[in-house]
């Protein structure tokens, strides 16, 4: 990668196919952080128990392996693993998928007072925080992130269900050259505030009945966006949302589907002092120019945290339709 506009970019994420094809032309630009839980039907090895993981390691299981079957019993959740092991008698055959290739591994589960165990930590889906870009009070639909959520292989997570949670920012890791910053947050309640319907390259979309308050704003087409001054709405402390000044430096073709339609630089002194610029967790922060919602922040340049990319709001809405 060479020069400013080609430096490596890190997704500003801390880690819906809607039935209605037409969205409102006026939407509420939100800027509020929420908790996101995206689930799929894949159970992934996240690590090994320090005391009980030796057998799994010896069998050849690695972190990142997807457990597909145990003794020919399909595995779609952690409970399936427990049930399959309880039915086993001695050694088990564990079918895993690694980098798209399937392998069958033999091992003896560890016998504990709670039953047989593989001795591994399991993960299903991905959780993290992101920023709500827009909300439609008429339909309850909303969009966040401005880019997709990828799995451990770097591919778009095939989400089967998901939930959104009310959250707040607790601390900020300030970004600096070569080290992207990050927002750290906590979920306020285990009760979901919305459901996620789809995970796309242009954002995550869902429905929230109660939604977020705010003045609805006209949506700009890609052709209406121009270089120059703009603002973003961001939540970098607690649950408060503020507007911060930015400058749109360059505009790329609408046909770009990777969340990099706008190049922008943070110019607001307060935001630069607090975060260093754009940090992970700010993905989805709405970009407003001339009183119109024009896009969302998506990425930060690794070697320059003051600068990052944004997606056209038009592209987000196309993906949500």
Contacts 24+ apart (CB under 8 A), 2-8: 4/301, 4/304, 4/307, 5/250, 5/263, 7/301, 7/302, 7/303, 7/304, 8/301, 8/302, 8/303
**Among 321, 316, 6, 318, which residue's Cα sits nearest to residue 133?**
316
Spatial distance between the Cα atoms of 315 and 202, rounded to a whole number of angstroms: 7
Counting every residue written for the chain, the total comes to 321
Question: Which of the residues are catalytic?
Answer: 147, 268, 283
Is 287 exposed, middle or buried (CB count within 10 Å of its CB: 0-12, 13-18, 19+)?
A: buried
CB 142 within 8 A of CB 194: yes
The span from the first CA to the last CA of the chain, in angstroms, equals 34
Spatial distance between the Cα atoms of 109 and 269, rounded to a whole number of angstroms: 57
Torsion sign across C-alpha atoms 143, 145, 150, 154: positive
Spatial distance between the Cα atoms of 310 and 10, rounded to a whole number of angstroms: 12
Tokens (6 digits) for 290: 């001339």
| CA Rg value for the chain | 22
CB 308 within 8 A of CB 278: yes
């Amino acid at each position: 990668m060479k020069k400013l506009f080609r430096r490596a970019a890190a997704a500003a994420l801390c880690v819906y196919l809607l039935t209605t094809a037409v969205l409102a032309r006026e939407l509420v630009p939100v800027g509020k952080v929420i908790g996101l839980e995206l689930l799929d039907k894949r159970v992934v090895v996240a690590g090994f128990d320090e005391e009980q993981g030796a057998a799994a390691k010896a069998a050849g299981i690695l972190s990142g392996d997807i457990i597909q079957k145990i003794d020919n019993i399909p595995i779609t959740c952690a409970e399936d693993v427990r049930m399959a092991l309880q039915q086993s008698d001695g050694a088990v055959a564990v079918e895993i998928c690694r980098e798209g290739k399937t392998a069958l591994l033999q091992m003896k589960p560890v016998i504990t007072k709670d039953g047989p165990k593989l001795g591994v930590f399991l993960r299903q889906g991905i959780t993290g925080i992101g920023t709500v870009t827009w909300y439609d009070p008429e339909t309850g639909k909303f969009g966040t992130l401005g880019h997709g959520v990828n799995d451990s292989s770097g591919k778009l997570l095939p989400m089967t269900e998901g939930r959104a949670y009310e959250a707040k920012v607790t601390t900020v890791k300030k970004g600096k050259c070569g080290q992207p910053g990050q927002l750290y947050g906590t979920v306020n309640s285990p009760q979901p505030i919305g459901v996620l319907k789809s995970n796309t390259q242009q954002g995550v979309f869902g429905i929230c009945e109660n939604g977020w308050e705010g003045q609805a704003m006209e949506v700009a087409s890609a052709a209406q966006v121009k270089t120059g001054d703009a603002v973003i709405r961001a939540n970098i402390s607690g649950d408060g949302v503020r507007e911060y000044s930015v400058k749109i430096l360059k505009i790329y073709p609408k046909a770009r589907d990777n969340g990099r339609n706008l190049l922008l630089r943070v110019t607001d002194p307060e935001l630069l002092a607090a975060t260093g610029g754009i940090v992970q967790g700010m993905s989805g922060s709405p970009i407003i120019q001339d009183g119109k919602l024009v896009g969302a922040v998506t990425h930060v340049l690794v070697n320059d945290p003051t600068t990052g990319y944004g997606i056209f709001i038009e592209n987000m809405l196309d993906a949500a339709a």
